[in-house]
Amino acid sequence: MTQSSTALPLDPAARRTAVVEALGVLGSGPEERFDRITRMTQEAFGVPLTFLNLVHHDVVTTQSTFGWQQGSSVPASEQFCATTVLTPEPMVIPDTTLDARFATTAAVAEHGIRFYAGAPLSMLDGTRVGTLCIMDAQPREFGADDVALLRDLARWAERELGHAIDRRRVRRVLESLAPEPVDVAEYTVTTASAQPDGGGGDVVDQRVAADGALHLTVGTVAAGRASALLASAVRGAVAARTDVPLERAVAGLEAQLAPDLSLAGAVATLVHARVDPGTGHVDVVDLGHGLAAVVRADGPVEELRSASLPVGLRPQGSDRTPVPVDLRSGDVLVLVSDGALALPGVDGLTDLARTAAGADGAVRALIDAAAPTLAATVTTVRRD
């Protein structure tokens, strides 16, 4: 007998509360990005009170206001906004004393509110989380043009609220991009990486294949605000091919990624290295990145440059030819991202490679000093 279960969906009120909490703005105090909206709404309509309210847990919290107390919360049952948030369209009450739903509420009977107009605020999934509203102590007429303007201002508020979720989502993606440590006998693998909160596009991956080979990837995706999300997709595609022969893995990677990158107007470059721990032999495949080097134990630095083009831009019929190199005891393989070359005090790949192969923590200190504005990654493999 097979048992199955289906999770029950959240009721609308619980879902609204969950999304409001996911915004991460409750209790955060005044924010100019929200205060600007309520201030301009007041100026647009010439009313004494404007509010950007969030509805959650049967209360209405004022996230931003012009003319009232910032951060105050009142029971939803006493608020116009608790009704507005239930409907997809703006709610207008020209004279609140004539509306049986609200005539006896504290807002009308005690505070003298005679006019209300509010527009619901919806997130991308359709959940209505609050309102942008205006109030007056005098009844008012509110025409179609006024409703349209209030709706436009509400869309602005929705974008600002949505950015909060976007930043949290990007932060989770950035955290997931950090590779897990790997343990390979007689080798020391280190990665120092940082990505800005706005969403850097560095790709970094390190893992051991079923045959014991060490696979390392460093790259960069340039796609504006979508860079971090696309970098996550690229890393996933790389990881899925860990146990596939190198040349076939690279061809499959390009076939999978090129259409998505083209659609997003993005450019991705990667360098991928496969290290045989037993022999120290390394095959390096470059996809337009060209930022790999070997620092020899006795001092010389060999840059593993290539003229290869980025992902999706390779001429049809051309190959990605692996560059072979052997690591001897004390040698260090260094893979870096574009941003790492912009670290303060770094003078090119050779200089950065020497720093990375030198004192422990030197590169980490450089990256920490540049964070959080710069995406930078440096991965090293030292044969002990």
Q: What is the pLDDT of residues 232-266, one digit of tens each?
A: 778 778 888 888 888 788 888 888 887 777 766 77
- Residue 166: its pLDDT value, please? 56
* CB-based burial, 160-194: b 16+ in 10 Å, e otherwise: bbbebbbeeebeebbeebebeeeebeebebbbbbb
The predicted model gives 35-55 an average pLDDT of: 92
| Per-residue pLDDT at 192 exceeds 70 | yes
**pLDDT (tens digit, 9 = 90+) per residue, 309-332?**
787 676 655 567 889 999 999 999
The fraction of the chain above a pLDDT of 70, given in percent, is 83
- Residue 316: its pLDDT value, please? 57
Distance CA 24, CA 33 (A): 15
Model confidence pTM above 0.85: no
Distance CA 365, CA 307 (A): 31
What is the rounded (10 degree) CA torsion for 19, 24, 26, 28?
A: -170
- Residue 9: its pLDDT value, please? 43
8 Å CB contact between 340 and 346: yes
- Write the CB contacts of 260 (distance below 8 Å, at least 6 apart in sequence): 230, 233, 266
Name the band, by pLDDT with cuts 50, 70 and 90, for residue 161: confident
- Which residue in 64, 58, 97, 98 sits closest to 79, CA to CA? 58
- Residue 168: its pLDDT value, please? 56
- Residue 125: its pLDDT value, please? 66
Tell me the three state secondary structure of residue 192. strand
- Residue 184: its pLDDT value, please? 95
Distance CA 334, CA 272 (A): 11
- Residue 249: its pLDDT value, please? 84
The predicted model gives 365-377 an average pLDDT of: 80
- Residue 229: its pLDDT value, please? 62
Rg of the chain in Å (alpha carbons): 28
Lowest-confidence region among 52-61, 136-145, 170-179? 170-179
The beta strand positions in the chain, using DSSP E, are: 49-56, 59-66, 73-75, 91-93, 115-122, 128-136, 187-194, 202-208, 214-222, 267-275, 281-287, 292-295, 301-303, 323-326, 332-336, 376-383
Query: Which residue type, as a one-letter code, is found at position 134?
Result: I
**pLDDT (tens digit, 9 = 90+) per residue, 329-363?**
999 999 999 889 989 889 999 999 999 999 888 88
The predicted model gives 167-185 an average pLDDT of: 66
Task: Please indicate whether residue 230 or residue 106 has the higher confidence score (pLDDT).
Answer: 106
**pLDDT (tens digit, 9 = 90+) per residue, 66-83?**
887 655 667 776 689 889
| Per-residue pLDDT at 4 exceeds 60 | no
Task: Let me know if 125 is exposed, middle or buried by CB neighbors in 10 A (0-12, 13-18, 19+).
Answer: exposed
Mean pLDDT of the chain: 83
The predicted model gives 284-295 an average pLDDT of: 91
The phi and psi torsions of 138 (rounded to 5 degrees) equal: -125, 145
| Per-residue pLDDT at 154 exceeds 60 | yes
The predicted model gives 154-170 an average pLDDT of: 72
- Residue 6: its pLDDT value, please? 35
- Residue 7: its pLDDT value, please? 35
Residue with tokens 């022969």: 245
